[in-house]
Chains A and B, each alone.
Chain A
Amino acid sequence: MKKVVNNSEINSSQIMSKKRTVKDILRNVSTLVFSILTLGILIWIIIYIFVTGAPNLSWSFITSDYNETSVSLRSESDFTFDGRDFTFEDPNGFKSERWGVSFIDGKNNLGEDVIFFNEICENSYFYELIDYSTNEVFLDYSDQYVYSINLMLDDGTYQIVNGNRYSAEELVSYLDQAYLIDNLNIMTVGGGIRGSILTTLALIGVTLIIALPIGIIGAIYLALFAKKNKITMVLRSLIDMTSAIPSIIFGFIGVIIFIPFVNSITGSSGGSILSGAFTLAIMLIPTIVKTTEESILALPKGYMDSSLALGASRTETVFKVILPNAVPGIITSAILSIGRIIGESAALVFAIGASIQDNVSLTNSSTSLAVHIWVLLSHENPNYDAACAISIIILIIVLILSLLTKLISYLHERKLKRSR
Chain B
Amino acid sequence: MKCIDESQILKNSKRKSTIDKVVGFLFLFVTLICASIIIFTIVLIAYQGILPFIKEYPASGNQVSTANLGIFLTGLSWSSSGYGAFFLVINTLYVVLLSAIISIPASILTALFVVKIAPKVVGEIFQSGIEMLASVPSVIFGLFGQGVICPIIRDFAFGIGLQTSGGTSVLSGAIVLAMMSIPTITLVTITSLRSVPKTYIEGSLALGATKSETNFKVVLKGATSGIISGIILGLGRALGEATAVSLVIGNAVSGPTFNIFDIGSTLTSIMLMGIGESTGLGYDIRFSLGIMLMVIIVLTNLILNYVKNRVTNPFKKPSKILNACKTLIIYIKTYFKKDKDNEESSK
Residues of A within 8 A of B (CB): 20-21, 23-24, 27-28, 30-35, 37-39, 41-42, 44-45, 48-49, 52, 214-215, 217-218, 220-222, 225-226, 234-235, 238-239, 241-242, 244-250, 252-253, 256-257, 282, 285-286, 289, 313-316, 318, 339, 342-346, 349-350, 353-355, 370-371, 373-374, 377-378, 382, 384, 387-388, 391, 394-395, 398-399, 401-402
- Which residues of B (43-81) have their CB < 8 Å from a CB of A? 44-45, 48
Q: Is A246 a contact partner of B146 (Cβ separation < 8 A)?
A: no
A-B contact list, 27 entries, CB within 8 Å: A20-B213, A34-B105, A34-B106, A34-B110, A38-B129, A38-B186, A39-B129, A48-B148, A52-B147, A218-B30, A225-B27, A238-B35, A238-B39, A247-B240, A248-B268, A248-B290, A286-B37, A313-B19, A313-B20, A314-B23, A343-B140, A345-B139, A346-B243, A353-B276, A370-B137, A382-B147, A394-B140
Min C-beta distance of A314 to chain B, whole Å: 5
Give the dominant DSSP class at A's interface. Answer: helix
A315 and B23 contacting across the interface, CB-CB below 8 Å: yes
Render B237-256 as a binary contact track against A, CB cut-off 8 A, 1 for contact: 00111110011000000000
Contact of A252 among B130, B143, B212, B290 (CB under 8 A): B290
Which chain B residue has the least Cβ–Cβ distance from A17? B210
Known contacts A20-B210, A21-B210; 18 further A-B pairs (Cβ under 8 A): A27-B212, A31-B117, A34-B109, A35-B113, A49-B143, A49-B144, A222-B31, A226-B28, A244-B297, A245-B38, A246-B297, A248-B240, A249-B294, A252-B44, A343-B135, A345-B137, A346-B243, A346-B268
Q: Across the interface, which residues of B come within 8 angstroms of A245, CB to CB?
A: 38, 41, 240, 294
Contact across chains for A257 and B109 when beta carbons are under 8 A apart: no
Alpha-carbon gap, A64 to B239, bound state (A): 37
Top 8 A-B pairs ranked by shortest CB distance?
A246-B240, A343-B137, A346-B242, A313-B16, A221-B27, A31-B113, A34-B109, A35-B113
Residues B156-204 near A (CB distance < 8 A): 179, 182-183, 186
Q: In the bound complex, how far is the Cα of B267 from the Cα of A112, in angstroms?
A: 34
Contact A38 B130 (CB under 8 A): yes
Q: Smallest CB–CB gap between B224 and chain A, Å?
A: 17
Nearest B residue (CB) for A41: B179
B293 CB within 8 Å of chain A: yes
**A247 close to B276 (CB less than 8 A):** no
Pick the contact of B241 from A48, A246, A339, A371 — CB < 8 Å?
A246
**8 Å CB interface, B115-149 against A:** 117-118, 126, 129-133, 135-144, 146-148
Q: How far is the CA of A377 from the CA of B150 in the complex (A)?
A: 13
In the complex, chain A residues whose CB is within 8 Å of the CB of B179 = 41
CB 8 Å contact bits of B86-121 with A (1 = contact, 0 = none): 000000000000000000011101101110011000
Specify which chain A residues have a CB less than 8 angstroms from the CB of B148 in the assembled complex. Answer: 44, 48
In the docked arrangement, what's the CA distance between A402 and B135, Å? 8
A28 CA / B212 CA spacing, docked (Å): 7
Closest partner residue, chain B, to A288 (CB atom): B34
User: Chain B residues with Cβ under 8 A from A342's Cβ?
Assistant: 137
The answer to whether B275 touches A354 (Cβ under 8 A) is: yes
- Alpha-carbon gap, A39 to B276, bound state (A): 38
Chain B residues positioned under 8 Å from A398 (CB to CB): 135-137
The reply to whether the CB of B216 lies closer than 8 angstroms to some CB of chain A is: yes
Beta-carbon contact of A343 and B138 below 8 Å = yes
Interchain CB contact under 8 A, B243 and A374:
yes
Smallest Cβ distance from A334 to chain B, in angstroms? 15
Q: Which residues of A contact B215 (CB under 8 A)?
A: 27
- Minimum Cβ distance to chain B for residue A185 (Å): 29
A49 to B141, CA, bound (A): 11
Give the residue name and chain of the A residue nearest to B211 (CB): A24
Interface flag for B261 (CB, 8 Å): no
In the complex, the answer to whether A38 meets B133 with C-beta atoms within 8 Å is: yes
Judge whether A346 and B272 touch: CB under 8 Å: yes
A239 cross-chain contacts in B, Cβ below 8 A: 34-35, 37-38
Whether the Cβ atoms of A248 and B242 lie closer than 8 Å is: yes
A313 to B14, CA, bound (A): 10
Partner pick for B114 among A35, A226, A344, A350, CB 8 A cutoff: A35
Contact B126 A218 (CB under 8 A): no
A45 to B148, CA, bound (A): 9
